[in-house]
């Protein structure tokens, strides 16, 4: 599963968002926003995490900047939060890149390396020396020594040491990134290479200091509602596993936030399922050896930036968010559409889709409920206008997409699903091999999910995986399955 950001950093993010929302709803947004770091850490307040109150205030200021939707890297250190709050109200569209690094919060971790601890016993067998293929290890004065110029950080020496005397120091964000898009800059702090970044959000989850931060669009959404615009929420199935309520109660709670209507994204997933199944049949008939799914925005970014040779094998079918937004705009052309997302990658996808105006993750929606004092478990129920299939409501679970497509296939079409459960370095190597060879020896329908566990494992989720899965599974079980008559024709 994805590494969950520690509770302390999640709590700080949530508190900042709650305060920003309440500041927006007050009679003096700019001034109340400026005071957030001081209200959270008043004079004489205990300093729980950092060296002094001034350091903590500086970090809280940067978290507020990200909460306002701005990049830390592009914000002047001396600019007041009140000025940024005013600029947020003037903003017409979200920033291009969804992530920013809070250098004030970044610990400036030591570089990743392999090192020998004092536990080294100078073994006669010399397993570390004999295992190293690069000649990086020697024994000096009865202890193993690693030459950093020769060491490739492969970790083989650490694996064979009988005393576990050789350890690998990792930088959490760098270690989590599957494409090498984040590293230490010349100043010693993390920096993101957006030409490589696939917006998978793994660095957000991995950083124990909460230094890698999403740039929120919640002020933009609040402003749209305040201006009296018709704002429509599009809720992905994964959200039905996040809060202690029924899907119908969740819809009612969202309406209480000020949204004009709520669409279930599984409705769009039904279109994805039908379209992708038809495409799979067509490709097999044309002689293709395999096809990958295309509903994961993180995977699509991976293909575009790192595995362009996979494009001929990736489905051309659009994502459930795409089809849902298309439905909303057709039915309500003047609507402002807001997608409720479990991950960072959907923010990038939304920027490329004129039918999707904003994206909020589940942390942000949860903070909104807290700010307004809405208890979702106590809300009434409001039914969705269109019922989606059980298979499409199960898209958020690993294997769910492939299973849905397989259900729609005619019996004479052989589908052998393969599931890529999370984009790890090894899984990316496997995908590159499949693309290069034009063949996957494990199957012909490859489902790819950037997050382990599927969308329920996204970095923007708020519930633990197992209870979230239980809630979603209950909802799926109560839904109607795709009928045999709905299968695509050969």
In whole angstroms, give the CA distance from residue 440 to residue 444.
7
Q: Report, as an integer, the average pLDDT of 441-467.
A: 95
What are residue 126's phi and psi, to 5 degrees? 50, 50
Q: Answer positive or negative: Cα dihedral of 101, 104, 108, 109.
A: negative
- Are 180 and 203 spatial neighbours (Cβ–Cβ below 8 Å)? no
Residue found under tokens 């989850």: 205
- Are 160 and 168 spatial neighbours (Cβ–Cβ below 8 Å)? no
Q: Answer positive or negative: Cα dihedral of 59, 61, 67, 72.
A: negative
Query: Is a pLDDT exceeding 90 seen at residue 290?
Result: yes
Residue in 239, 246, 468 with CA at minimum distance from that of residue 365: 239
Q: Where are the alpha helices (DSSP H) in 132-233?
A: 156-160, 172-176, 202-206, 218-226
Half-sphere exposure of 407 (CA within 13 A, CB side): 23
255 band by pLDDT with thresholds 50, 70 and 90 = very high
Q: Report, as an integer, the average pLDDT of 382-405.
A: 95
**pLDDT at residue number 45:** 79
Mean of pLDDT over the chain: 94
Q: Report, as an integer, the average pLDDT of 206-230.
A: 96
Q: Answer positive or negative: Cα dihedral of 418, 199, 305, 281.
A: positive
**pLDDT at residue number 3:** 41
pLDDT digits (tens, 9 = 90+) for 15-34: 999 999 999 999 999 999 99
pLDDT digits (tens, 9 = 90+) for 319-366: 999 999 999 999 999 999 999 999 999 999 999 999 999 999 999 999
Residue in 488, 490, 489 with CA at minimum distance from that of residue 271: 488
Q: Report, as an integer, the average pLDDT of 425-454.
A: 97
Give 103's strand partners: none
CA distances from 285 to 176, 281, 404, 443 (A): 39, 6, 20, 16
**pLDDT at residue number 2:** 41
- Vertex 220, ends 216 and 224: CA angle to 5°? 150
**Helices vs strands, H then E, count in the chain:** 20, 15
Q: What percent of the chain has pLDDT over 90?
A: 86
Q: Where are the alpha helices (DSSP H) in 286-372?
A: 297-305, 320-331, 345-351, 362-372
In whole angstroms, give the CA distance from residue 443 to residue 200.
25
**pLDDT at residue number 8:** 65
Residue in 299, 393, 396 with CA at minimum distance from that of residue 342: 396
Residue found under tokens 């124990």: 208
**Assigned CATH for 113-169:** 3.30.70.20
In whole angstroms, give the CA distance from residue 132 to residue 253.
59
pLDDT digits (tens, 9 = 90+) for 161-190: 999 999 988 899 999 999 999 998 888 889
pLDDT digits (tens, 9 = 90+) for 52-100: 999 999 999 999 999 999 999 999 999 999 999 999 999 999 988 999 9
**pLDDT at residue number 21:** 98
Pairing mode, if any, of strands 336-341 and 358-361? parallel
Task: Output helix, strand, coil percentages for the chain, rounded to the nearest 5.
Answer: 45, 10, 45
Every domain of the chain with CATH number 3.30.70.20 lies at 7-105+175-216, 113-169
Pairing mode, if any, of strands 113-116 and 166-169? antiparallel
CA distances from 340 to 158, 250, 344, 358, 432 (A): 43, 12, 11, 9, 31
Give 138's strand partners: 145
In whole angstroms, give the CA distance from residue 227 to residue 219.
12
Q: What percent of the chain has pLDDT over 70?
A: 98
End-to-end C-alpha distance for the chain, whole angstroms: 38
Q: May I ask the CATH class of domain 7-105+175-216? A: alpha beta
Q: Report, as an integer, the average pLDDT of 112-116.
A: 89
DSSP 75-142: S-TT--HHHHHHHHHH--S--S--EEE-TTT---PPPPEEEE-TT----SS-HHHHH-SS--EEEETT
Query: Is a pLDDT exceeding 90 seen at residue 490?
Result: no
Query: Is a pLDDT exceeding 50 seen at residue 4?
Result: no
- Are 468 and 389 spatial neighbours (Cβ–Cβ below 8 Å)? no
**Assigned CATH for 227-486:** 3.40.950.10
What are residue 445's phi and psi, to 5 degrees? -125, 105
50 band by pLDDT with thresholds 50, 70 and 90 = confident
**pLDDT at residue number 7:** 55
Pairing mode, if any, of strands 231-235 and 261-264? parallel
- Are 237 and 266 spatial neighbours (Cβ–Cβ below 8 Å)? yes
Every domain of the chain with CATH number 3.40.950.10 lies at 227-486
């Amino acid at each position: 599963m994805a590494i969950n950001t520690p509770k302390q950093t999640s709590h700080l993010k949530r508190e900042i968002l709650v305060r920003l929302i309440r500041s927006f709803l007050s009679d003096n947004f700019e001034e109340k926003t400026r005071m957030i770091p001081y209200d959270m850490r008043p004079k004489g307040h205990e300093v729980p995490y950092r060296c002094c109150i001034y350091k903590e205030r500086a970090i809280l200021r940067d978290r507020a900047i990200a909460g306002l939707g701005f990049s830390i890297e592009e914000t002047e250190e001396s600019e007041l939060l009140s000025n940024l709050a005013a600029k947020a109200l003037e903003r017409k569209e979200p920033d291009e890149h969804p992530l920013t690094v809070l250098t004030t919060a970044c610990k400036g971790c030591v570089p990743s390396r392999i090192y020998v601890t004092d536990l080294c016993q100078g073994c006669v067998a010399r397993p570390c020396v004999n295992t190293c293929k690069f000649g990086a290890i020697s024994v000096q004065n009865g202890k193993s020594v690693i030459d950093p110029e020769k060491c490739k950080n492969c970790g083989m020496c650490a694996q064979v040491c009988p005393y576990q005397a050789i350890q690998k120091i990792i930088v959490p964000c760098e270690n989590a990134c599957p494409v090498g898009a984040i590293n230490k800059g010349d100043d010693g702090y993390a920096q993101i290479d957006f030409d490589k970044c696939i917006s998978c959000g793994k660095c957000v989850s991995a950083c124990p200091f909460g230094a890698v931060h999403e740039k929120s669009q919640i002020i933009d959404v609040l402003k749209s509602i305040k201006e009296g615009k018709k704002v429509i929420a599009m809720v992905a199935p994964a959200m039905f596993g996040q809060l202690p309520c029924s899907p119908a109660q969740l819809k009612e709670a969202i309406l209480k936030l000020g949204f004009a209507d709520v669409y279930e994204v599984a409705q769009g997933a039904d279109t994805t399922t039908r379209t992708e199944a038809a495409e799979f049949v067509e490709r097999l008939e044309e002689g293709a050896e395999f096809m990958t799914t295309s509903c994961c925005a993180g995977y699509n970014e991976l293909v575009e930036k790192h595995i362009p040779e996979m494009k001929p094998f990736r489905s051309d079918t659009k994502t459930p968010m795409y089809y849902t937004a298309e439905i909303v705009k057709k039915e309500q052309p003047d609507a402002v559409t807001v997608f409720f997302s479990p991950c960072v990658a959907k923010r990038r996808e939304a920027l490329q889709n004129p039918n999707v105006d904003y994206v909020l993750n589940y942390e942000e929606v949860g903070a909104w409920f807290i700010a307004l004092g809405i208890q979702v478990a106590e809300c009434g129920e409001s039914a969705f206008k269109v019922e989606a299939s059980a298979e499409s409501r199960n898209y958020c679970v690993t294997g769910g997409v492939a299973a849905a497509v397989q259900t729609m296939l005619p019996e004479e079409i052989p589908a052998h699903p393969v599931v890529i459960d999370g984009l790890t370095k090894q899984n990316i190597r496997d995908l590159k091999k499949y693309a290069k060879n034009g063949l996957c020896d494990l199957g012909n329908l490859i489902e790819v999910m950037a997050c382990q566990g599927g969308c329920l494992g996204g970095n923007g989720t708020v519930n633990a995986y197992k209870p979230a899965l239980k809630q979603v599974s209950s909802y799926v079980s109560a839904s109607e399955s795709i009928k045999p008559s709905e299968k695509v024709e050969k």
